[in-house]
Structure 1
Amino acid sequence: MKLHYIGIIRNDSKPGVEIVSEKELSAYSRFTRQNYAEFMTLFAKTVAERTRPGQRQDVEEQEHTFHAYGRTEGVCGIIISDHEYPALVAHQLLSKVMDEFLSSHPRSAWATAGDNSVTMPELKEYLTKYQDPHQADSIMKIQRELDETKIVLHKTIESVLQRGEKIDDLVAKSDGLSNQSKMFYPFLVTAASVQMS
């Protein structure tokens, strides 16, 4: 079980803005870390842009699950984990992170902010602490919330894209990816396919 990413994305306008995030990239070689970080940001923004206010959803893509929680304030929390990580714990952590962020950062602090321009040191601590999902302390609270909220499970990133959109097109037109990462994308898809077999 592994957590790879925790982030908060402003999704009230497109393109989404990654206000603050923390990534766990130690599983990747130093040559590919930056590429994986850029793809995490790209796909986190994509899922956040397509998560409605008040909606929770899980999106599975290759070996990752994107857990999303859209808030009415115009932000969306995203956690990227592997498939084995319990969804209930991920959504509990999302609730905690979003509540803390919104209580300590007024809208004026992030409404016009750029990518990663807000600090939230707790994210690094949570990314480390919650690698062990048993650290979740109030699973019953999130269970009640989930009973009241439908989580939509999508099997791939493509299922949350708009009609006619393709992942390859999204990668090609993304300003957030370096040319090196765009060239790396076909290798990433091939490697993930081989790893899944």
Structure 2
Amino acid sequence: MKLYSLSILYKGATKANLLKAAYDLSSFSFFQRSSVQEFMTFTSALIVERTTQGSRASVKEQEYLCHVYVRNDNLGAVVIADTEYPQRVCFTLLDKNPREADAMTKVQAELDETKIILHNTMESLLERGEKLDDLVAKSEHLGNQSKAFYKTARKQNSCCEIM
């Protein structure tokens, strides 16, 4: 299951203009990446140009599935994925924020945030424990010093008696 491209285009009167695109070309060799990216950009523009306003479509191109959605305001989005990627998730992604598109992605993001908070809490607890250990050590040292002071003061006062 792989998502290769997400493109946002504006459908003009004659052609579609690419506004923004993101690509994941890590599964291709270094020398193929530029031509694959060019292919995805060209295919995205072509599909948006041929899709009517307010409609969605899925087009199979070679081993890729291209999911397109063109809104009524001529703003179009194209997801290019492999054939295993769920169509429902693609169209949800085109409608929503990517973190909210897939329930699993949303839950994973929340888990990651919780893990960070828990990690920070554990670190602060450990630091607090170290500070408490230092405080206990200082307290014991102060207690020993006060006992020594008491003994010294008692010896000093024993030579003088009040009559």
TM-score class normalised by the smaller sequence: 0.5 to 0.7
Letter matched to residue 20 of structure 1: K
For structure 1, the 5+ residue unaligned runs are 98-125, 138-197
Match of 1:185 in 2: none
Structure 1's 26 and 8: CA in aligned 2 closer, same or farther, altered over 3 A? Answer: same
For residues 80 and 42 of structure 1, what CA distance do their matches in structure 2 show? 12
For residues 48 and 24 of structure 1, what CA distance do their matches in structure 2 show?
A: 20
Which position in structure 2 is the counterpart of 1:40?
40
- Identify which of 116, 135, 138 aligns with 2:105: 135
Q: Over aligned residue pairs, what C-alpha RMSD do you find?
A: 2.1
Bigger radius of gyration among the two: 2
Q: Secondary structure at the match of 2:18?
A: strand
Measure the CA separation in 2 of the matches of 1:90 and 1:14: 26
TM-score where L is the length of structure 2 = 0.60
Alpha-carbon deviation of 1:61? 1.2
* Structure-to-structure mapping, 1:1-197, within 5 angstroms: 1-97=1-97, 126=98, 134-135=104-105
Q: Which aligned segments of 4 or more residues in structure 1 are displaced greater than 6 angstroms?
A: none
d(CA) in 1 for partners of 2:23, 2:95: 18
- Residue by residue, what CA displacement relative to the aligned partner does 1:42-99 show, whole Å, maximum 9, x if unpaired? 00000010111110000011110000001111111100000110000000000015xx
Q: Which one has the bigger helix percentage?
A: 2
Q: Considering Cα pairs closer than 8 Å and 6+ residues apart, tell me whether 1 or 2 has the greater RCO.
A: 1
Work out the number of aligned pairs and report it. Answer: 106
CA distance in 2, matches of 1:86, 1:94: 13
